[in-house]
Structure 1
Amino acid sequence: MNIKKIIPISLLVFTFTACTELSEDDVREFTINHIENQVGYADAVEGFVNGLSNDLIAWTNPVWRSTPYEYSTEGVDGSAFYEDSIKVNIHDIYIMGNHANVFGTIRFYIDGVTTTYRNFSGIVGQENGELKWQRWIGVDNQNLAQGFLWPSTEIEGGLSAYNEMRNAMMNLEFELAKFISDTLVEKDPEWATAHLGQMQYYWAKQDDLKLKEVMDLALSKCENASRAEEHFIKSYTRDREVGQHELELAMLHAPDDPMIRVWYAWGLEDNKLAIDIIKRAWWRLPEHGGVNNMLGYKYMADGNMEKAKKHFEIFTRANAEVPNGYDSYGDYYIEAGEYEKAKEMFLKAYDLDSNWTVSKEKAERIEKRMNRVNSEE
């Protein structure tokens, strides 16, 4: 082999690679200009189309059960470019030779109002000396659920602590929920739903005087709370009819909230209706302990033991450290006539938390029953 021919070829390859490698500044300028110029109806069409590769693969809002597709510019007439301004915020550009991966956020505006908030990721490549989008994926914030029981507080870390409190409430960990609730009330004395953990604790302990005291205090702080928060607070009453009505109203204003749906379903005598109410919460949160727990009991009450078992299984697998999951699974096994497995589940719940004496008592009753049956044989 002629070594003289190898060297010039190697130099040629190096020169070509060096010339085609993208710069971060060029990619940034292209990204911002191409996106922010998508305004003005038909005036935006030419620039939009010129910035797209003929081989562009796009994935629009993969939060839905969609798939990527080959993008076609046929039919692009500018009618979609109705916003009057667009702002791009680039978070990261990763250069990969003659390609670049771009992470960013786009805000679309009409008269200063945000009409779309989109996070995106795309691959920019060089074709015939021009930069073009070769891959694109975008997710719009408005396609996600917003109908939750959001907390009306501005304290740092408030949302995270609030969610911890609510998870404890839905897992029937009353002491933990009250402890978190006490802490939140202290941190933000004007926050109405910070009292939820306290209210559930006193409701479960049947301390109606203390429950009313805390509820009145929470309601006195509802001036800056949402309608959903106020109705949910009012649902903590011994009057079942009033409680259900308040939960219905709360659900109107926070239709995606799992706690409201589970609490409301718990009070329904119609098991099939209750299941339908909870299914919407399960669809969004299929591993949520409290949601699976209530679905399990409602399916069990409706005679569908097969589906009930699946939800208790999901509960315990996805929330392995939650005692209530095993206690509920134990109730299922009693209903199924599998007493040894029921006993195992109850003891597991008690082993995780010695405060779950009710689980230990259930296991002891099963032990006595099994001993009695064995002695009779």
Structure 2
Amino acid sequence: MPRFSILSTFPPTRCGLATFSRSLADALLAIGSDPIRIVRAVDDLDAPSPGLAAGIAVVGELHVDRPDRTQATARLLSAADVVIVQHEYGIYGGDDGSDVVAVLESLTSPSIVVLHTVLAAPTDGQRAVLERVVAAATAVVVMTEAARALLIRHFRVDVSRVSVIPHGVPEWTTPTAGHAGDRTTVLTWGLIGPSKGLEWGIRAIASLGDVAPAVHYEILGETHPKVVAHEGEAYRERLEHLADELGVADRVAFDSRYLDADALAGRVGAADLVLLPYDSRIQVTSGVLVEALAAGKPVIATGFPHARELLHPRMIVAHESPASIGAAVRAAIARAEPVEARPQGMSWTAVAGRFRSLADSLVAARVARSA
């Protein structure tokens, strides 16, 4: 089993990449990895790094305002056999996150770069940075076929080094049946911010007053820390005001807690439908989407690439369209929408096994070259 290090945001940071990296690290440990070394990508909003816990050692930080730390970061990461680098434009310093390139180019161990965003219309700077990131990596992972197609179409990359490994999903153990009898519960969860399109969901709920049992919309999750830093809770307050203005405050519930895995599983298990009304047209990976499907929940989503890849067309709705969302919810309730096929081969254990197999091949190739 190769020894791994990971460069990424990481708990206690609350963001999708941090959650992804912790889940992957836990799964690698579960299938037999040695303790995993973490270098946290951090900014001024982050809490201090924790120490060693459950086989995971946070050995350093890469701050967005400290490009002089790239060489030290590379040395810390290269103490492992294989380095996994999570890539997102917003988590590293420099123009378009360019500081991570110097880290990658300084590694002495093979690297796997996981691309969480692949843009169809990147700026010149974004294209240049991503192409340098891919060129510096030993192997590249995307999580959907849509992301792979975009990468090949819009960037100059070596296709032979690009693999598709899906986003991992938890092995939910809670019942999948929703509320009984008195209501239909529609759930959206995750960190809250203006790009989530929650206002369209609230407006859709307002159009469903005649549906029985009554449709209730639960919005679960705290406001994204970067949104709070920019505008406080103004977005959530606008949503609450909208629900009141539309007369549905009694059918729209806000829960601003950041729940642990068990508590979240319970809330997802109690829902009847999951709604992802995201404004984004370019999201190639959604952890919430695959987790909802893993829980056996029908999902209604706007047509971002990952949703189009996994959902039946009748479950795809127009962006920024309460009418389209409302019609889809109404139709799903009327026909007792069957559950989408649950994702196969996407448990975190299975995903970790595929990362381990890829890492094994990189280590073997390195040994063969040095022989």
For CA contacts below 8 A with separation 6 or more, give which structure has more relative contact order: 2
Query: TM-score higher than 0.5 here?
Result: no
Q: Which structure shows the higher helix fraction?
A: 1
